[in-house]
């Protein structure tokens, strides 16, 4: 069997730390809680763990607004807690990845607090500061992902600053070499602590151009989507013409790759990105000397995909990357509704099919080329939680557009571990940061791990079988996708084995045959 690097076919388990396990009874998950549950993850048979941000932060966007990249937010613990976590993960044979946010930081970060004071301080050029147009309006027509203009006025400097997300998430100026070097120091800090890789958040939103900036061009074929977030003015624009995927980004990816290559153990860089042409953007980011792989959005369609849509999504990615490990697939994450719910309607299924569908989706994605990310709760077929009271909502995106759009809280509710314990074993607090889902209690993690016929154990058995298949583990090659209206069929191919993989969305079963 040919030997690939670990990240080329890894199954990576994503943890949203705020919702995984609370160890100190404050209703919020933390690093010590993750450490306590690593055995559960290791027994599932995954290869690595990716933890969403746990750095110091005002938590306006729950960690994606960083105020100190080299320290731990108090609610999550301490650096000693992190060191204990990584030590146990490695002892269990798990690689550990963390989430770095390179495009923007928090407005509470000392870098921005200094930068906003004047036009001549040492950090004055660390963010994108631009004079108003002669009529006082914003410099460009760029819009925020979360609604409104991507520019906010700072009276102290009499200038606008750029933020692709919340106003409290100012974009770092990657045209400044000092900014890039500061982030490189962040990479070294975590690699030195033993981290095996980074998931790089929203790298397509890194801005490294100098003024004058180009306006985004209109998207002439724009059609209002069915979902409220698809109706935002943001989606009426083509963004790669000005705001996003600027060629200058690659100075950052090349700098981070150079640092990763300095360390032993095949440190892994996985970039989250999108674009007007996502395949082209992914090819640019994974060109030689840049990121190892990109986090693929093809299967994360918010409204779900029918079988034809799944085939097209897989084909688009495979045609560009067949024979490589340069992409990572996912059906669920902390930003989209859970696949066990999202995929039911497009596939003509009911809630009774939830567990069988989730098993089939996991089997499908880990049979594709490249690596795979499983989001906490997928192994339990957790559904999306749509009944969170408006007064309990936490996600700023959902709060902005509620009640027509519920945001991302629906996929972020706490994990439950034992149905007989308070809060399902997640926390002993009187109230958890998001409500516990009553529906999830029937599939609590430790209870399901102890039940031989559970989805957890079926997935564990499949992942164990997968590791013995040369076609899945020894090469990243596959045939074109085929099959009937309710089937997805392809061959995985290596020198030692050709394995025909068939996924039937009528019977909700997978079959594998050597040919």
pLDDT along the chain (515 residues), means of 10: 86 98 98 98 98 98 97 98 98 98 98 98 98 97 94 98 97 98 98 98 97 94 72 89 95 98 97 94 97 95 96 95 97 97 97 98 98 98 95 92 88 98 98 98 98 98 98 97 98 97 98 98
Residue 488 lies in a domain: no
Residue 24 is predicted with a pLDDT of 98
Largest Cα–Cα distance in the chain? 70
C-beta separation of 112 from 127 below 8 A: yes
Residue 327 is predicted with a pLDDT of 95
The CATH number of the domain holding residue 372 is: 3.20.20.80
Name the token pair of 140: 């460009």
Residue 436 lies in a domain: yes
Residue 263 lies in a domain: no
C-beta separation of 64 from 412 below 8 A: no
Residue 514 sits at φ, ψ, to 5 deg, of -75, 135
Beta bridge partners of 155: none
Residue 92 lies in a domain: yes
Residue 373 is predicted with a pLDDT of 98
Count of beta carbons in the 10 Å neighbourhood of residue 235: 16
C-beta separation of 206 from 103 below 8 A: yes
Which residue do the tokens 């050597």 mark? 514
Residue 394 lies in a domain: yes
Name the token pair of 150: 């991507």
C-beta separation of 359 from 504 below 8 A: no
Cα–Cα distance measured from residue 166 to residue 60, given in angstroms and rounded to the nearest whole number: 8
Nearest to 49 by CA among 194, 258, 184: 194
Cα–Cα distance measured from residue 338 to residue 358, given in angstroms and rounded to the nearest whole number: 10
Cα–Cα distance measured from residue 13 to residue 297, given in angstroms and rounded to the nearest whole number: 17
C-beta separation of 330 from 372 below 8 A: yes
Cα–Cα distance measured from residue 184 to residue 333, given in angstroms and rounded to the nearest whole number: 27
User: For the CA atoms of 370, 371, 373, 378, what is the dihedral angle to 10 degrees?
Assistant: 80
Strands (E), 112-207: 129-130, 151-154, 159-162, 197-200
C-beta separation of 282 from 320 below 8 A: yes
Residue 147 is predicted with a pLDDT of 86
Nearest to 167 by CA among 217, 201, 127: 127
Cα–Cα distance measured from residue 323 to residue 86, given in angstroms and rounded to the nearest whole number: 32
Which residue do the tokens 């004058």 mark? 212
Domain encompassing residue 371: 6-101+296-476
Residue 59 lies in a domain: yes
Number of domains in the chain: 1
Q: For 341-373, what is each residue's pLDDT tens digit?
A: 999 999 999 999 999 999 999 999 999 999 999
Cα–Cα distance measured from residue 380 to residue 354, given in angstroms and rounded to the nearest whole number: 10
Q: For 209-268, what is each residue's pLDDT tens digit?
A: 999 999 999 998 888 776 666 667 898 999 998 999 999 999 999 999 999 999 999 999
Name the token pair of 169: 């998430």
Q: For 301-313, what is each residue's pLDDT tens digit?
A: 999 999 999 999 9
C-beta separation of 351 from 344 below 8 A: yes
Residue 222 is predicted with a pLDDT of 84
Cα–Cα distance measured from residue 73 to residue 123, given in angstroms and rounded to the nearest whole number: 24
Residue 173 lies in a domain: no
Strands (E), 35-148: 48-51, 55-56, 68-72, 95-100, 129-130
Q: What is the CA radius of gyration of the chain?
A: 22
Residue 401 is predicted with a pLDDT of 83
Cα–Cα distance measured from residue 368 to residue 379, given in angstroms and rounded to the nearest whole number: 18
Count of beta carbons in the 10 Å neighbourhood of residue 134: 6
Name the token pair of 84: 């204990």
Nearest to 239 by CA among 129, 137, 143: 143
The vertex-376 CA angle with 372 and 377, nearest 5°, equals 115
Active site residues: 201, 262
Please say whether the dihedral angle defined by the alpha carbons of residues 317, 320, 324 and 325, taken in this order, is positive or negative: negative
Give the three-state DSSP class for 484.
coil
Residue 3 is predicted with a pLDDT of 82
Count of beta carbons in the 10 Å neighbourhood of residue 211: 11
Cα–Cα distance measured from residue 216 to residue 11, given in angstroms and rounded to the nearest whole number: 37
Residue 489 lies in a domain: no
């Amino acid at each position: 069997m040919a030997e690939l690097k670990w990240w080329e076919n890894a199954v990576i388990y994503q943890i949203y730390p705020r919702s995984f396990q609370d160890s100190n009874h404050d209703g919020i998950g933390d690093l010590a809680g993750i450490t306590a549950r690593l055995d559960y993850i290791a027994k599932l048979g995954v290869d690595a763990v990716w933890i969403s941000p746990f750095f110091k932060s005002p938590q306006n966007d729950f960690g994606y607004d960083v105020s100190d990249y080299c320290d731990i937010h108090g609610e999550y613990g301490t650096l000693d807690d992190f060191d204990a976590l990584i030590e146990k993960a490695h002892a269990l044979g798990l690689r550990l990845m963390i989430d770095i946010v390179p495009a923007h930081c928090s407005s509470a970060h000392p870098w921005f607090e200094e930068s906003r004071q004047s036009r001549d301080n040492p950090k004055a050029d660390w963010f994108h500061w631009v004079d108003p147009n002669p009529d006082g309006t914003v410099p460009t027509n760029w819009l925020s992902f979360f609604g409104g203009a991507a520019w906010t006025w700072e009276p102290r400097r009499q200038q606008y600053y750029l933020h692709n997300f919340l106003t409290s998430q100012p974009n770092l100026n990657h045209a400044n070499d000092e900014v890039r070097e500061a982030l490189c120091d962040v990479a070294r800090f975590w690699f030195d602590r033993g981290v095996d890789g980074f998931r790089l958040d929203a790298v397509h939103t890194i801005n490294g151009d100098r003024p004058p900036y180009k306006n985004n061009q209109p998207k002439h074929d724009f059609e209002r989507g069915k979902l409220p977030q698809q109706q935002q003015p943001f989606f009426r624009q083509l963004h790669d013409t000005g705001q996003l995927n600027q060629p200058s980004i690659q100075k950052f990816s090349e700098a981070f790759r150079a640092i990763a290559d300095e360390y032993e153990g095949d440190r892994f860089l996985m970039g989250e990105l999108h674009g007007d042409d996502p395949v082209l953007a992914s090819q640019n980011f994974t060109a030689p000397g840049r990121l190892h792989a990109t986090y693929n959005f093809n299967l994360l369609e918010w409204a779900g995909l029918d079988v034809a849509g799944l085939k097209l999504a897989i084909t688009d990615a495979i045609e560009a990357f067949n024979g490589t490990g340069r992409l990572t697939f996912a059906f669920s994450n902390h930003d989209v509704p859970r696949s066990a719910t999202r995929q039911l309607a497009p596939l003509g299924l009911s809630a009774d099919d939830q567990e069988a569908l989730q098993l089939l989706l996991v089997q499908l994605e880990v049979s594709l080329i490249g690596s795979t990310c499983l989001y906490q709760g997928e192994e339990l077929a957790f559904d999306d939680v749509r009944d969170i009271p408006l007064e309990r909502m936490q996600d700023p995106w959902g709060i902005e557009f509620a009640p027509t759009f519920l945001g991302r809280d629906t996929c972020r509710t706490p994990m439950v571990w034992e149905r007989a314990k308070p809060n399902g074993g997640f926390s002993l607090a009187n109230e958890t940061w998001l409500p516990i889902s009553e529906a999830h209690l029937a599939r609590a993690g430790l209870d399901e791990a102890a039940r031989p016929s559970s989805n957890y154990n079926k997935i564990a058995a499949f992942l164990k079988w997968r590791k013995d298949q040369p076609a899945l583990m020894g090469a990243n090659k596959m045939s074109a996708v085929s099959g009937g209206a309710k089937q997805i069929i392809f061959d995985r191919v290596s020198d030692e084995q050709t394995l025909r993989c068939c996924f039937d969305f009528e019977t909700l079963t997978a079959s594998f045959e050597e040919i």
